[in-house]
Chain A
Amino acid sequence: MANEVRKGIVTAVHGAKAGHPGGSLSAADIFTYLYFEEMNIDPKDPKKADRDRFVLSKGHTAPGLYSVLANRGYFPVADLPTLRHLGSYLQGHPCMQETPGVDMSSGSLGQGISAAVGMALAGKMDNKDYRVYTLLGDGEIQEGQVWEASMFAGHRKLDNLVVIVDNNGLQIDGKIDDVCSPYPIDKKFEAFNFHVINIDGNDFDQIRAAFKEARTTKGMPTAIIAKTVKGKGVSYMENNAGWHGKAPNDDEYKIAMDDLEKIAKELGGAN
């Protein structure tokens, strides 16, 4: 399924002739795990009161979220190429009023995590057992608000909150450790009273194990630091900062889909 989500990402960004494929592809496995295995959600009832919530704090990777929502049945996969088009319900960055399944509008970096913390707090205040997930970019955590939110979440012991950092190592201006290093990411979250799990974020077994561990962690929020490959699955996009915010042309689109098709064959439809 992650491969289908990747195809959706590439198709959406190609259709939009703009967008952010790199960070969408790196997180495709996490998106897929969350929406197909982890979260208590109902695509037929996107606003179900006791559903688990997801906030895409790194909102520029909306193509990843849209592709997984479409593949999960919130809206037709065929609509993905309308991404960023005038009148489309698939806005350039997530808009909760437009798109079924989007729990929070986001895109201004650093803000989504605060909203997720608010949702987790509401769950605690109301003694509800829903869980809240938020995905951040590793460049995004340069924003100070991320640490305001983390301090609060740790202080309030919000164990219904899971913060995932997509550590693909690249941001627009280059490598994150060349631009303004956020490392060590795990130590920082530990210092903010999080339970921290380091994983390979493109390995399904490790993703599954991490979210299970988060579920059993009580008295503190969990941060999953997911080491990923930016552009994962598309040969020429992998580990290339140039594909942070650029759409493939028709030839490049064909190569990308061939790459993903090849992976699908290798997997033999197992995933």
Chain B
Amino acid sequence: MIDDRQFNRRGFLKSGASLVGLAAAGSLLPLSAARAAPLTVGFIYVGAKDDFGYNQAHAEGAAALKAIEGVTLVEEENVPETVDVQKTMESMINFDGASLIFPTSFGYFDPHILAMAPKYPDVRFQHAGGMWSADKHPMNVGSYFGYIGMGQYLNGIAAGHATKTKKIGFVAAKPIPQVLLNINSFLLGARSVDPTITCQVIFTGEWSMAVKEAEAVNALADQGADVVTCHVDGPKVVMETGAGRGMFLCGYHASQASLAPDKYLTGAEWNWAQVYTEMVNTTLSGGTIPNFVRGGLAQGFIKMSPLGPAVSAEARTQFEATQAEIMKGGFAAIKGPLKDNKGNVIATEGQSFAEDDVALESMDYLVEGVVGSIS
């Protein structure tokens, strides 16, 4: 959680409804508050900063920047992927003097960042998602991303040890490559424990739709799945519904341990604090952030939630051994012999796709053992 916010949305609406308590009139700020910091950094989120998920992970990373001398942080949440985000970027540049902007939603890149970058050549735009390419995009745009599929592989190991029914579940937003890689990695992690495990996947079709996510978890539980993870923007509903049905939980994006500490096994988290601190320090020291940055567990781009109390000693041993293996770099979750769930060969004996293999970025299959369909 971001603990230095004075108000959150819910509390604000609540106090609006009751209108209780007298408070002193606020101090009169001058309208154009002079900000004499050497670097103003802007963060834009597509959802709420405290969504227990994608946006919170970025907001936690942004909060780490406040500790850096000379950095002013400006943020805006719930900004849709329309002309709104273009104007928010311009507003941060014009009114706050932001010269480094992190529009964090995947959908902000094309066309919105690409529309603003040529107009403000002195501003650096950093986008999470890894879409920048040198021959197509401006040099004041950069992209970064992490191999979080490895985190889902480790989630799968914890899940594989915890499941009694040998059925695990995955609530997914859309059948796009990043999500498919997570689903496949989760199952393959579990199958490294017991090759008879299957994973049922349910696509909700939306990045953020609480009702469908809750329905999906209930459907998974009804079908006998006893561990659940997800790839949606805010995993809160999945975790709470799953805990209510007595399922074990593997987190995603940020730590959801506080929602159900007894049921939470571990989680694949972004570690944006380290990434952002490094990027800002590079900028402050006069350097240029590389346009194309990626990393995994080894580079500190992602991290795992601490193992929960429900994780057995045996599970812990395998989890830690595999984590150490991944830390060496070049680990491959997708390796032969492997078929997809329609019987097509994905990888032959000896063939493997390491975490940084670009072939994984156009994944269009679910591996054998995943119950579900893309189309």
Genuine A/B complex: no
